[in-house]
Amino acid sequence: MKWEKTIVFFAAAALLAFAPAPARADALKSMAKKLVKGLSKEGNRKVAVLSFPYHDGRVGPGSTIIQERLTTYLAETGKVEVIERRLLEKVLGEMKLGASGVVDAETAQRLGKVLGAGAVVTGTLQDLAKNRAEVNARLVRTETARILSADIRRIDRSWTGSPADPVVVRPSPSGKNASQIALLLDTSSSMNGLIDQARNQLWKIVNELAVGEEKGESASVEVALYEYGNSRLDGRTGYIRRVVGFTKDLDAVSDALFALSTEGGSEHAGQVIERAARELSWSGEPGAYKAIFIAGNESFAQGPVDYRAALRSAKAKGIFVNTVFCGSHQRGIAASWQDGAVSAGGEYFAIDQDRPVLAMRAPQDDELERLGRELSDTYVPLGAHGERAKARQARAAAAVRGASGGAAVERALFMAKPQYSQSAQWDAVSAAQKGEALAEEALPAELKAMDKGERERALKKKAAERERLQSRIRELDEKRREYLAEKTAAAPAPSLGAAVLDAVQAQRRR
């Protein structure tokens, strides 16, 4: 009957309207097939796919989305070997290059040499309307910078948000050079591996954050820690606990990480993000880097707080929210972890939380570990607070000694940076160097037994020894970096630490 046909027509139209648009995927898949035709069957068929900035150099969520999809579709053709994005970004960072779509002859040759790539895929993105965009792509030979093939496609714009500022490292105003990282870790059952990764990679993370100096002021690094999803926590608060607020005392963070344990529970991702964004003392400086990293393995939509509302609140404060799903990439997408990252302008990662974190040993590592232990001996506690901090320092040193992933070396490297001694407000040596008066009752017994002259000489001797050790560690660090740069040929295995460093590297350039 006529009315039945009408109902069938509108039902079919509704299904088409709300179904995922295949044209978007088909367009980029066709683009990938066309691009690979530019490579001859002989020769180097290894390809790197760069990010797709807008025509004026700005980047947005679509820039990396197009990069990710083209990487996947090129790999699916089976006709090229595609370089994994994390390795590409690591190399670009080491070469001091942004992941832009502009590749001149010299840059192409450098990329080809370092990555072993025969070609790079480069291009630009342009918004045509609210829900449409145009992708311009080129396959460029690295040896000659000659364009081998090119294609233009119009696609559905599946992302939200406008392009950000050009990809540059922003100088921080007013001498401020701050980084704030909040780690939100799922401590429900089966998350022991995740906690181990955090313990083992904390010092590597803060070492990367500590790089940089603005107008003579060392980069400020603060870390906060939350646990959630543990049934031993109070259900009335959503099974969430703020373990450590923002602190520069990384020994305290390490101590807290090693004290964590797991127990089954409900994982309320939206609620813990909302709390971290609201409770922590986030910097108001425009140049500060602020980021939340939340890791877990259940649905991102669990709990009484809508994760999208929590993400909007965080984004309004200039906080990147990055999601780390402990499981397969596709499972994380299905559980809304990718949607959470995209909604907040962050990065989505999938890791195997039970995979041990391994690090290549360098010839300098044994000496660095020994120097780190000796450096701890140059710290002299003041008062009861100092005694507790000194005990934390000893526990942190002992903990990394048995940890994997080069944690003991990374801690030694961080201890040689000014951020470590600056955070030790309990240290008599640092206080004496600043000319601060030392209260007699706060001094440890060995200093109390000395007269004023002996005490000053003893503290100066400690300061000189500290400076010598720090200088030697920095020398060894340079040699170690050179050694590892020559030996490292592959991207690090997906892990919590690798995810944090990848996101920091990308987001600091925005």
The domain that holds 70 is classified in CATH as 3.40.50.10610
- Residue count of the chain: 510
Q: Is residue 324 part of a domain?
A: yes
Q: Return the minimum-mean-pLDDT range out of 63-67, 132-136, 176-180, 450-454.
A: 176-180
Same domain flag for 204 and 282: yes
Same domain flag for 435 and 328: no
The percentage of residues in the chain with a pLDDT greater than 70, rounded to a whole number, is 79
Q: Is residue 85 part of a domain?
A: yes
Same domain flag for 238 and 102: no
Can you give the pLDDT at residue 164? Answer: 43
Inter-residue contact 397 to 203 (CB < 8 Å): no
The percentage of residues in the chain with a pLDDT greater than 90, rounded to a whole number, is 22
pLDDT at 144 over 50: yes
> What average pLDDT does the segment 255-282 reach?
89
pLDDT averaged over every residue in the chain: 79
Can you give the pLDDT at residue 373? Answer: 92
CB atoms within 10 A of CB 482: 12
Report residue 282: phi and psi, to 5°. Answer: -75, 140
Same domain flag for 223 and 297: yes
* pLDDT band with cut points at 50, 70 and 90 for residue 45: confident
H/E stretch holding 82 = strand 81-82
Inter-residue contact 262 to 188 (CB < 8 Å): yes
Is residue 78 left, alpha or beta, with left meaning phi > 0 and alpha meaning psi from -120 to 50? left
pLDDT at 198 over 80: yes
- pTM over 0.75, yes/no: no
Can you give the pLDDT at residue 105? Answer: 57
Same domain flag for 200 and 337: yes
Same domain flag for 150 and 229: no
How far apart are the C-alpha atoms of 275 and 245, rounded to whole Å?
Answer: 12
pLDDT at 66 over 90: no
Q: Is residue 379 part of a domain?
A: yes
pLDDT at 467 over 50: yes
In single-letter form, the type of residue at position 176 comes to K
What is the SS3 assignment for 135? strand
Tally the domains of the chain: 3
pLDDT at 291 over 80: yes
Locate tokens 């470590």: which residue? 420
Burial of 446 (0-12, 13-18, 19+ CB in 10 A): exposed
> What average pLDDT does the segment 215-222 reach?
66
- Give the range of the structural domain holding residue 427, as residue numbers without chain letter: 365-487
Can you give the pLDDT at residue 475? Answer: 94
Buried b (16+ CB within 10 A) or exposed e, 159-179: eeeebbeebeeeebeeebbbb
| HSE-CB of 494 using CA atoms within 13 angstroms | 16
Residues forming beta bridges with residue 241, ordered by sequence position: 227
How far apart are the C-alpha atoms of 68 and 506, rounded to whole Å?
Answer: 14
How far apart are the C-alpha atoms of 210 and 474, rounded to whole Å?
Answer: 14
Name the token pair of 221: 């690094």
Same domain flag for 473 and 500: no
- Torsion 238-242-246-250 (CA) sign: negative
Order across the sheet with 132-141: list the strands.
81-82, 46-49, 119-129, 132-141, 147-156
How far apart are the C-alpha atoms of 332 and 299, rounded to whole Å?
Answer: 8
pLDDT at 100 over 50: no
Nearest to 465 by CA among 509, 429, 493: 429
pLDDT tens-digit map of 307-343 = 999 999 999 899 999 888 888 889 989 999 999 988 8
> What average pLDDT does the segment 6-30 reach?
50
Same domain flag for 193 and 323: yes
Same domain flag for 201 and 337: yes
Name the token pair of 465: 């020894």
Can you give the pLDDT at residue 91? Answer: 66
Domain harbouring 267, CATH code: 3.40.50.410
How far apart are the C-alpha atoms of 48 and 316, rounded to whole Å?
Answer: 34
Q: Return the minimum-mean-pLDDT range out of 106-110, 317-321, 424-428.
A: 106-110
Nearest to 344 by CA among 290, 284, 420: 290
Q: Is residue 291 part of a domain?
A: yes
CA separation (Å) from 281 to 277, 308, 317?
9, 22, 11
β pairing state of 213-214 and 217-218: antiparallel
DSSP one-letter string for 143-157: TT--EEEEEEEEEE-
Same domain flag for 481 and 458: yes
Report residue 18: phi and psi, to 5°. Answer: -100, -5
Q: Find the distance separating the first CA and the last CA of the chain, reported in whole Å.
A: 59
Locate tokens 């040929």: which residue? 489
Same domain flag for 142 and 213: no
DSSP one-letter string for 242-293: EEEEEES-HHHHHHHHHH---------HHHHHHHHHHHS-----TT-EEEEE
Same domain flag for 210 and 346: yes
* pLDDT band with cut points at 50, 70 and 90 for residue 90: low
> What average pLDDT does the segment 493-500 reach?
72
pLDDT tens-digit map of 363-394 = 999 999 999 999 999 999 988 888 988 998 99
